[in-house]
């Protein structure tokens, strides 16, 4: 009885190997080409049949927005202007802090890490002193949201990480006096108009 089971197991294993060998040796079936089929494309083997395909770029279609009133359209246009005004600053902050994190990950010396943080902080301050200080309160509020969108952390968290908790608390107090909130977060479902403006702005097109 034991020998019969072993014999059956050997037969099953042999048949499985033979089937796999047969499948491996079977040439794939390609579609017939016409006289105008001259473009080389990729192909995928689907159960022995080669299916040609071409990768296409994403196409985003936007509907025509209908405004309830001229005032609503004017408000949207102001929002669009403000978003496009501060978006480059948010992208700059994203690139600069990503670079800082990469630099810190390769340096173990605490003194050198502090130097890198100060260097990054100085660049952000230079941008603030030359350009960002001219922003309106509304533009500043949008900027704090966009920094959270791009960096994945609020402005308060970034200051806390680089400058410490006391500095973050102090900056937040000053920001609140002039109508800002460094803890502002971004929610694409809530800030739908801002998200729509960013997506259609062309900043993320290759």
Say what the pLDDT of residue 80 is. 92
Q: In the predicted model, is pLDDT for residue 199 greater than 80?
A: yes
Q: Where are the beta strands (DSSP E) in the chain?
A: 42-46, 49-53
Do the Cβ atoms of 156 and 182 come closer than 8 Å? yes
Q: In the predicted model, is pLDDT for residue 53 greater than 50?
A: yes
Closest CA to 143 of 176, 180, 172: 180
State phi, psi for 55 to the nearest 5 degrees. -75, 130
Q: How much is the average pLDDT of 28-40?
A: 76
Q: In the predicted model, is pLDDT for residue 7 greater than 50?
A: no
Query: What are the tens digits of pLDDT across the range 161-198?
Result: 666 776 667 666 666 665 667 777 788 888 888 988 88
Cα 36 from chain centroid (whole Å): 40
Q: In the predicted model, is pLDDT for residue 67 greater than 80?
A: yes
What is the rounded average pLDDT for all residues in the chain?
75
Say what the pLDDT of residue 22 is. 45
């Amino acid at each position: 009885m034991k020998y019969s089971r072993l014999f059956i197991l050997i037969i099953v294993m042999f048949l499985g190997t033979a089937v796999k060998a047969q499948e491996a040796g079977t040439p794939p079936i390609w579609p017939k080409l016409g006289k105008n089929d001259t473009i080389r494309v990729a192909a995928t083997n689907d159960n022995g049949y080669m299916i040609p395909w071409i990768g296409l770029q994403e196409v985003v279609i936007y509907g025509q927005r209908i405004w309830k009133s001229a005032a609503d359209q004017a408000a949207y246009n102001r929002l669009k202007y403000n978003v496009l005004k501060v978006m480059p600053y948010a992208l700059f902050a994203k690139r600069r802090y990503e670079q800082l994190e990469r630099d810190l990950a390769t340096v173990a010396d605490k003194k050198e890490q502090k130097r890198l943080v100060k260097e990054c902080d100085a660049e952000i301050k230079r941008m603030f002193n030359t350009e960002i200080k001219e922003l309106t309160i509304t533009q500043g509020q949008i900027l704090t949201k966009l920094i959270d969108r791009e960096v994945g952390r609020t402005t308060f968290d970034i200051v806390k990480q680089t400058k410490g908790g006391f500095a973050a608390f102090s900056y937040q107090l000053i920001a609140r006096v002039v109508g800002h909130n460094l803890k502002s977060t971004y929610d694409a479902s809530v800030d739908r108009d801002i998200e729509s403006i960013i997506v259609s702005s062309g900043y993320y097109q290759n």
